[in-house]
Amino acid sequence: MLKQRTEFISTRGRARAMAGGGSWNRNQNLTVYASSIKLGPISHAVLIILLIAFLGLLYLTQLTKTSTFGYEMNSINQVRAQLAAEQDDLKIENARLESLSRVQSSSVAAAMTAPVDVVHAD
Amino acid sequence: MATQKISRTGVVTVGLFLVLAVFAVKLFSIQIIDHDKYVSVAEQMQTSKFTINPERGQIYTRDQNGELTPLVLNQTVYTIFADPSQVKNPGKIRDVIKKNVPDKMIESNLTDKKLNNKENQYLVLARQVTRDQVKKIQEEDLAGLGFQPTTQRAYPEGNLAAQILGFVNTDGEGQYGVEGFFDDELTGKPGLLQSVTDVRRIPLMIGTDDVSIPAQNGADYILTIDRSIQSQAEVILKNGLERAGTKSGSIIVMNPQNGKILSMANYPTYNPAEFSEVVDITNFQNRTTSYAFEPGSVMKTLTTGMALDAGVITPNTIYHNTGCVQIDDAQICNASRQVDGRDMTATQILQWSLNTGVVWELQQIGNGDITKQARQTMFEYFANRYRFSQKTGIEQAGEARSSLFSPDDVQGGRVRYANMTFGQGMAVTMVQFTAAFSAAINGGTYYQPTLIDGVVDHKGKEKTLEPNILAQNIISEKSSRELKEMIYQARQDNQPGKDKGYYIGSKTGTAQIYDDATGKYALNRTTGTAIGFTADKDKVPQYVIMVRVDDYPEEGAYAGSRAAQPIFDELNNYIIQYRGFSK
């Protein structure tokens, strides 16, 4: 499993190499602390398996989500079709109420009087 | 020699490797070698194709304010079916169906035997059930019942313009009228949905090969007809035919300034919503377009137009009325004999409807005889200028052809051409005649008769169609003006003061009906016709009305004036008031 080690690494050689090109002073000691956690081959394998499993889960959740969208779309389409059918029925009802035969038999038409002065071409 | 001993672990390991090797080989075979085959099988199992049905185009007309008024709409109705394998209470299903949709149920399928047949999964119980009725049935929550939506045509105006509209049969095909003529355009184009589905065939949209092509709905059509005029024409026609004692007839009203049809009425008629109950299929036909007949003396108007245009007569040219004329072996006489022996003007030929007068006009084209040249001239006018040799192209299914013999035909002799001058020996449809008459009195412009005012395409874009001029100067403007005045004057002289200052011209006709059984014209069966126009105060014709009354039963030559003319006058009076014309 994980091994924890603390090391001191002298970077003098590197500092020396850089001495002429930057703000480093000659003979200055520099230290850098690297991570002491090291992963072995088994850890790598486990991590990769976990990563693959995670990606698999992610894929599955996305797939399920898309399927859910499919159901939602289907349900919305059904509602839309129902509303369209309802709208069609209302349009038909409206047109029937405004139809000539309906207008002619309406109370408004019944209350109308014949024109007094009509000149016909006999 | 030392024997090498294989440990049990080794045996198991080798065995496991062998099994794994078999698995690997099999997996290789399935996943690599037979990859395409299994992908195809999987796709077949998981993917479904759905046809998306387009919505059939609707049909409108305009009211006086230019607003669209629907004549044909779509209505969603349902087919109620049972899945007997799921049915739990057949008795309840039967009761509910009988209670809610007694007029739409299929009673023979509501038996216990059929509803309990567990091997069947689809049994239709009722058709054309409305949404409200379905809601009531759904409230009962009956197991094994299904509701399948479909569309049917709805006619808010009932029987109005039934023959113009046509109907849609049970296979969804347009029949007769506009429905038949524009069936493809009204139908639209189906769409396609291809998708992975679940076990209930609900599309899931998770495949990479999904196809979704939306349906293209059919175009909506806006008709030129005026529903008020159409409605009155139908009522007046029915009453007029009953008064005349005849069983069938037709009316056409057309705007001569653009060819737009304002009305086409036919009687008997039918209800397109109940087309399956019609016994006589001729009721489906728009007989203003699908029936060619001998028009009779109304043809004298067009013969006179020809003679005016050919320059052989003027409105005041004198003709000596001999009463009868001999053409080869046929004697042609007038119906009105009280003016025999008189000198008559060309206008009076129309007023008295003299057969011999129009024969004389044809003879004038041949310098006194019905020569081949005279017949060729007449054929040129009738076939090409009045366009009787071709269909009009009106947007109605089943437009009939006319019957017109050329002088080069063995049937195109002198007697036939003499008869043709007064509308016998040839057959035309009402729409052909009305279009030709309109051109003859509007200044000589032949507009294609049309029923379509505009189209609303599948994107909802409305397009108004412009009048289509098929020919100009079919007769000269001067001849047209003179002819219009002659027709007006003939009517005024026949019935002085009748029109109270309105500029109306009309001509009636009575044609004997050829009897196929005897090979002769029947004496007691005639077709009565009337055609005429009403103009505004500037004498510009605003509409043309033509009336046809079939099989007038009285003997004599008066079907036109006794049966067709009263219908013409009544409808004309209505339109004058409706349109509010000034004198």
Say whether A81 and B204 touch across the interface (CB within 8 A). Answer: no
- The whole-angstrom separation of Cα B418 and Cα B354 is 12
At residue A89, φ and ψ (nearest 5 deg) are -60, -40
Examine residue A58 and state whether it is found in any structural domain, yes or no: yes
Distance from CA of A55 to the nearest CA of B (A): 18
Residue-wise pLDDT for A21-65, tens only, equals 445 566 666 666 677 778 888 889 999 999 999 999 999 888 788
* B195 to A70: CB separation less than 8 angstroms, yes or no: yes
Pick among B47, B151, B197, B204 to test the A interface (most A CBs inside 10 A): B204
Alpha-carbon distance B252 to B260, whole Å? Answer: 11
> Do B137 and B243 have their domain in common?
no
Residues of chain A numbered 77-106 and touching chain B (CB < 8 Å)? 81, 84-86, 88-89, 91-92, 95-96, 98-101
* Best residue in B76, B153, B210 for a mutation probing chain A (most A CBs within 10 Å): B76
**Strands, E, within B42-100: which ranges?**
47-52, 59-62, 68-82
- Assess B74–A contact: CB distance below 8 Å, yes or no: yes
Q: Is residue A22 part of a domain?
A: no
Residues in B closer than 8 angstroms to A118, CB to CB, are 577
- Residue where the block lists tokens 């058709």: B127
Q: What's the whole-model pTM score?
A: 0.83
Bridge-based pairing state of the strands B145-154 and B68-82: antiparallel
Domain count, chain A: 1
pLDDT at position B75 is 92
Where would I find the beta strands (DSSP E) of B351-502? 446-447, 452-456, 462-464, 469-471
Q: Is residue B349 part of a domain?
A: yes
Tell me if B277 is assigned to some domain: no
Across the A/B interface, how many CB contacts are shorter than 8 Å?
81
| Residue A120 C-alpha from the chain's centroid | 72
Give A-chain residues touching B565 at CB under 8 angstroms.
none
Q: Are residues B411 and B448 in the same domain?
A: yes
Q: How far apart are CA B272 and CA B153, in angstroms?
A: 9
Helices within B245-389 (DSSP H only): 299-309, 346-351, 355-365, 372-379
- Interface with B, mutate which of A61, A76, A91 (most B CBs under 10 A): A91
CA B537 to chain A, closest CA, distance in angstroms equals 14
- Distant-in-sequence contacts of A28-34, Cβ < 8 A, 24+ apart: A34/A7, A34/A9
| C-alpha torsion sign, points B434, B440, B446, B452 | negative
Distance CA B99, CA B106 (A): 13
Q: Is residue A8 included in any domain, yes or no?
A: yes
Q: Residue A18: pLDDT above 60?
A: no
Closest by CA position to B266, among listed B373, B163, B374, B408: B163
Asked if the Cβ–Cβ distance from B205 to A67 is below 8 Å, we say yes
In the prediction, which pLDDT does B555 show?
Answer: 67
Contact B54, B192 (CB under 8 A): no
Residue B29 corresponds to which amino acid? S
Asked if B524 and B495 sit in the same domain, the reply is yes
Q: Is residue A49 part of a domain?
A: yes
Contacts of B69 in chain A (CB under 8 A): 95, 98
Q: Return per-residue pLDDT of chain B as tens, 583 residues.
A: 455 677 888 888 899 999 999 999 999 999 999 999 998 888 888 888 888 889 999 999 988 788 889 999 999 999 899 988 888 889 999 999 999 999 889 989 999 899 998 888 889 999 889 888 998 998 988 888 888 888 899 999 999 999 999 999 988 899 999 999 999 999 999 999 888 888 777 787 666 778 889 999 999 999 999 999 999 999 999 999 999 999 999 999 999 999 999 999 999 999 999 999 999 999 999 999 999 999 999 999 999 999 999 999 999 999 999 999 999 999 999 988 889 999 999 999 999 999 999 999 999 999 999 999 999 999 999 999 999 999 999 999 999 999 999 999 999 999 999 999 999 999 999 999 999 999 999 999 999 999 999 998 777 788 999 999 999 999 999 999 999 999 999 999 988 878 888 999 999 999 888 888 888 888 778 999 999 999 998 999 999 999 999 988 876 668 899 999 999 999 999 999 888 877 7
Note whether B205 contacts A101, CB cutoff 8 Å: no
Whether A114 contacts chain B with CB within 8 A = no
Residue A122 banded pLDDT, cuts 50, 70, 90: low
Whether B37 is covered by a domain: the verdict is no
- Are both B138 and B66 inside the same structural domain? yes
Residue type, B174: G
CATH number of the domain at B146, please.
Answer: 3.90.1310.10
Whether B36 is in a domain gets the answer no
Whether residue A12 has pLDDT greater than 70: no
Domain-embedded: residue A120: no
DSSP annotation of B83 reads -
- Positive or negative, the CA dihedral B329, B332, B338, B340 is negative
Residues B204 and B62 in one domain: yes
Q: What is the pLDDT of residue A24?
A: 55
Find the CB nearest A70 among B74, B131, B203.
B203
B215 touches chain A (CB under 8 A): no
**Tell me, what CATH number does B538's domain have?**
3.40.710.10
Residues of chain B positioned with their CB less than 8 A from the CB of A96: 156
Q: Which residue in this structure is represented by tokens 């994107």? A: B459
Give percent helix, percent strand, percent coil of chain B, each to the nearest 5.
35, 25, 40
**Quick check: is B201 in a domain?**
yes
Question: Is B163 part of a structural domain of the chain?
Answer: no
Contact (CB<8Å) B204/A99 = no
Enumerate the β-bridge partners of residue B546. Answer: B252, B531
A44 within some domain: yes
DSSP secondary structure letters along A3-46: EE-----B-HHHHHHHGGGSSPPTT---B-----EE--HHHHHH
Residue A11 pLDDT > 70, yes or no? no
Q: Residue range A2-18: average pLDDT?
A: 48
B203 occurs within a structural domain: yes
User: Does the beta-carbon distance from A66 to B576 stay under 8 Å?
Assistant: no
Q: With H, G, I as helix, E, B as strand and everything else as coil, classify residue B167.
A: strand
Is position A119 within any domain? no
Distance CA B428, CA B420 (A): 11
Are B336 and B393 contained in the same domain? yes
Q: Same domain for B249 and B397?
A: yes
Residue range(s) defining the domain that contains residue A10: 3-17+28-99
Other Cβ atoms within 10 Å of B554 Cβ, number: 16
CA distances from B60 to B144, B173, B267 (A): 40, 19, 22
* ipTM of this complex prediction, to 2 decimal places: 0.80
Closest approach of chain A CAs to the CA of B249, in angstroms? 22
CA distance B538 to chain A (A): 18
CA B499 to chain centre: 34
B310: alpha, beta or left? (left if phi > 0; alpha if psi -120 to 50)? alpha
Identify whether B279 is part of a domain.
no
Q: Do A70 and B74 touch (CB under 8 A)?
A: no
Q: Indicate whether B360 and B424 sit together in one domain.
A: yes
B502 and chain A in contact, CB less than 8 A: yes
Asked if B195 and B259 sit in the same domain, the reply is no
B469: helix, coil or strand?
strand
CB distance from B474 to chain A under 8 Å?
no
Work out the pLDDT band at A15, boundaries 50, 70, 90. Answer: very low
Q: Which residue of B has its CA nearest to A60?
A: B206
Q: What is the distance in angstroms between the Cα of A59 and the nearest Cα belonging to chain B? A: 12
Q: Which of B156, B569, B572 is the closest to A92 by Cβ?
A: B156
**Statement: residue A85 has pLDDT above 70:** yes
CB contact under 8 A, B205 and A70: yes
Q: The tokens of A78 are what?
A: 């059904």
* Whether A74 and B70 lie within 8 Å, measured CB to CB: no
Regarding whether B209 and B68 lie in a shared domain, the answer is yes
What would the two tokens of residue B65 be?
């304010």
CA distance B409 to chain A (A): 45
The number of CA neighbours under 13 Å toward the Cβ of B294 is 22
A69 touches chain B (CB under 8 A): yes
Residue B211 shares a structural domain with residue B229 = no
Q: Does B128 touch chain A (CB under 8 A)?
A: no
Residues of chain B numbered 249-308 and touching chain A (CB < 8 Å): none
Q: Cβ–Cβ of A121/B154 closer than 8 Å?
A: no
Taking the Cβ of residue A63 and every Cβ of chain B, the question of whether any pair is shorter than 8 Å is answered with yes
A85 vs B76, B205, B504: nearest CB: B76
B152 chain-A contacts, CB cut-off 8 A:
none
| pLDDT, chain A, mean | 77
Distance CA B412, CA B422 (A): 15
A120 touches chain B (CB under 8 A): yes
Within-domain flag for A112? no
Measured distance CA(B228)–CA(B571) in Å, rounded = 11
d(CA B550, CA B529): 9
Count of domains in chain B? 2
Domain encompassing residue B441:
225-271+286-454+464-579
